[in-house]
A and B are shown apart, each in its own frame.
Chain A
Amino acid sequence: MRSPLSRRGFLAAGSGLAAAALPALSGCSPFASADSDPGTLIVHTQLGTTAPGSPTYKAVVKEFHAEHPGLRVKNLVNGDDLPQVYETSRLARKEPDVVMVNLYDKTLAWTDVGATVDVREYLDDWGLRERVLPAALTEWTDGEGRLRAFPYFATNWPVAYNTALLERAGVGAVPTTGDQLIGAARKLRAKGIAPVTVGGNDWTGQKLLAQIIQTFLSPDEARKVYASGDFSGSRGVREGIDYFVELRDAGVFADKAQGLTSDTMTTQYNTEAAAIQSAMSSALAKVPARTAGHTAVGGWPLAPGAAHDKPTILRSYTLIGFWISPNGVRKISSVEKFLRFMYRPEVVSRFITESGRDMALVTDTVSKDFPLVAEAQRLGDRVGQVLLPDLHVPPTATQPLITATSTAFTRGTSAAAVRSALEAAYRTG
């Protein structure tokens, strides 16, 4: 029996294939080149595909290339899994030079453990401090005085009211008190319209819950509560949870809110199935023109005896910032060129006008094509502001807290059970 392919031939072919293919698959890693190639800046970013601001980011990077022909920016794009991927890269000492990600959850610990460097001196040396809003610098600075990253994106987080739906239900004005909100919810439900839509099963629900809980809390008290996870210790926090439970059981939130997500929330509002949503700027930018035309933005209604004198919103300056890695320090002159470029007023303005983003930098530009984003920017002192808990919640409790949120939005759950679920999130984390 004669084989067309002998054993020797078979083994030779196999070895040849392995010899040719494997080096080809292992060579020229861009991460390896991050150490060796000063002409390439590796940027790990959440912008680049369909995230709000991605088209503008890609366009300005192209502009940067045209201006700096000897320096190439190579973008590595990840979504929600970026922190995990960056951390493993860092463990292998093959991390990218610059990371563009929010200050949230895992990233809160990065500067502390040396995964990224303190950028305070770079900000001053490059003369960029004046470009950053003071509130943004405060939020990005840790307890040791280290600036975690160069602030870039911010967000207003007001409440959007569909005035046409409110009118159709017989609600004359945007509610500013809890009683008015409960009354409006009853009238809306009578017309078959969901009142407040919220992603009770994700971060949007967690933020709204935090906002309502802070009704009776000063910023300092709120900071303590969210840092310690003690939701029973003070009268203010107990009253805030009672207020939330009262609103929930009065039917203020959309049916089955405990199972809704941010996507269902925005869709319910955009399609006018619901009349009210608590929405950050990126969601406001996506409200279609016909709904945006009769949307008013404002704050969350207050209860009698609240610690605030005006309806509240959330504001955050800790969305995507530019973090510098230890590998990035080795190519700091390239990083400097890139960040100086990204901080230019005309580049910053493009993100506002083209993508409807709020910025953590000083700018006079206001969105024209995104009227709700602009309206939220103009709210100023007409609304009160509560604390975004992200910076104070221990990273290990962040995800369990979102799970506990779903319990809180489940009708019939008592205030004591809500407190217990929130406190358990800190223990399980």
Chain B
Amino acid sequence: MKFGRSWLPAHVLAWLYAALLVVPLYYLLVSAFKTNDQIFGSPFALPTSLSAHNFTEAFSSADLGSAVVNSVLVTALALALTLGLAIPAAFAIARTEGRLGAFVERVFSLGFLVPTFAALFPTFLLAAATGLFHTRAFMVLFLPATAMPLSVVILVQFMRTIPREMEEAARIDGASTFGVLRHVYTPMCMPGIATILLLNFLTFWNEYLYSLVIIGPDPEQRTVQVALPTLKSLTGTDYGILTAGTVLTLVPVWAVYTVLQKRMQQALVSGAVKM
């Protein structure tokens, strides 16, 4: 396929957009190897040294090792719980033709209307009342609750595109309802599942406010997003160390995105074709 001159503006805009995305990442990365004076004095210059000092200092000062482990635990368990609840819920809603199904779907959609900040105090009270305040367990239960509306709505749309005949064929082969979900709907919705996995992973991993208030600052329990700001100080922040710490916490995000991006793109493209 050959592109003529008419494609030139599109190319220019695409490259400009890419540059807009790359510049902050470049700034973050080079700052991780600099001192404060270098960061503010010549922000976009290449670092004069590739010393790992800022990285080791960030890792040890903020105890990022255990913070990453805690984040992985909370995120992985919350994702598992989200999928465990959202897939059957979406399956049930997608297969229901009556008014009740539409009503339940709308109830899930109402979840979008609750502002995150407004739920903070009631959530704190709930955590205190259940004895789960200052525990990671509460976040493992709470995060899926916040992710259910988006997850269910996306998965319902995917499941509605699966022809009924597929289920009927499975039933003829003796599949139970659970078997239909597991062997027909789930595999065919993998792009959708990958999409909600990726979106929820980013949300759960980057969650700060609730983790700060509910889990708290205990180094044995706190997540990476709570550990990272401890590198910031009102009376003089070392931005080299802070950006190095930020780069370290971005590594898992980059790894997960690399693994799931193909599936997500597939989901987006298939969605476009269906439209």
Contacts and interface: CB of A to CB of B under 8 A. Distances in A.
B40 A32 contact: no
Contact of B37 (A46, A74, A75, A271): A271
A30 B221 CA distance: 9
A78 B217 contact: yes
Interface in A243-257: none
B166 to A, nearest CB: 12
B234 A203 contact: yes
A428 interface: no
A136 B233 CA distance: 23
A1 B218 contact: no
Contact of A1 (B134, B141, B173, B217): B173
Contacts of A25: 73-74, 77, 135-137, 140
Contacts of A280: 235
A302 interface: no
A263 B236 contact: yes
B241 A50 contact: yes
Contacts of B132: 26
A50 B221 contact: no
Interface in B67-112: 73-74, 77, 80-81, 84
Interface residues of B, number: 55
Interface in A267-309: 267-268, 270-271, 273, 280, 282-283, 286, 288
Given A77-B219, A282-B235, A26 B138 contact: yes
A163 to B, nearest CB: 20
A57 interface: no
B259 interface: no
A72 to B, nearest CB: 13
B233 A50 contact: yes
B237 A50 contact: yes
B128 A22 contact: no
Interface string A107-129: 00000000000000000000000
B165 interface: no
A91 B128 contact: yes
A288 to B, nearest CB: 8
Given A49-B61, A89-B216, A91-B124, A31 B134 contact: yes
- Among B140, B236, B237, B238, max chain A CB count under 10 A is at B236
Interface stretch (B14-22, B156-164, B175-183, B199-207): B175-183
Contacts of B84: 14
B230 A78 contact: yes
Given A3-B182, A88-B124, A283 B235 contact: yes
A52 interface: yes
Contacts of B140: 21-22, 25
A271 B213 contact: no
B122 to A, nearest CB: 13
Interface string B183-199: 10000000000000000
B252 interface: no
A288 B110 CA distance: 57
A327 to B, nearest CB: 13
Interface string B35-61: 011011100000000000000010001
B229 interface: yes
Contacts, number: 152
A44 B39 CA distance: 31
B133 interface: yes
A351 B36 CA distance: 23
A349 interface: no
B170 A51 contact: no
B221 to A, nearest CB: 7
Contacts of A190: none
B248 interface: no
Interface string A336-366: 0000000000000000000000000000000
B134 A48 contact: no
A31 B61 contact: no
A170 interface: no
B209 to A, nearest CB: 10
A382 to B, nearest CB: 25
Given A21-B77, A283-B235, A44 B37 contact: no
A79 B217 CA distance: 10
Interface string A1-19: 1010101001000100110
A75 B218 CA distance: 8
B137 A1 contact: no
A81 interface: yes
- Among B37, B213, B216, max chain A CB count under 10 A is at B216
B241 A85 contact: no
A89 to B, nearest CB: 7
A273 B42 CA distance: 12
- Among B80, B173, B232, B233, max chain A CB count under 10 A is at B233
B22 to A, nearest CB: 24
Given A29-B221, A30-B220, A263-B36, A88 B237 contact: no
Given A3-B178, A52-B235, 5 more contacts: A17-B77, A52-B236, A75-B219, A80-B234, A262-B235
23 contacts: A1-B170, A3-B178, A7-B179, A10-B182, A14-B84, A17-B77, A23-B137, A26-B137, A27-B135, A49-B230, A76-B218, A77-B219, A78-B217, A78-B229, A80-B232, A81-B212, A85-B216, A88-B213, A94-B134, A262-B236, A266-B236, A267-B36, A282-B235
Interface of B: 36-37, 39-41, 57, 61-62, 73-74, 77, 80-81, 84, 124, 127-128, 132-138, 140-141, 170, 173-176, 178-179, 182-183, 212-213, 216-221, 229-239, 241
Please name the 9 residue pairs, one residue from A and one from B, whose CB atoms are nearest each other, closest first: A26-B137, A267-B40, A26-B135, A25-B136, A7-B178, A25-B137, A51-B233, A92-B128, A76-B217
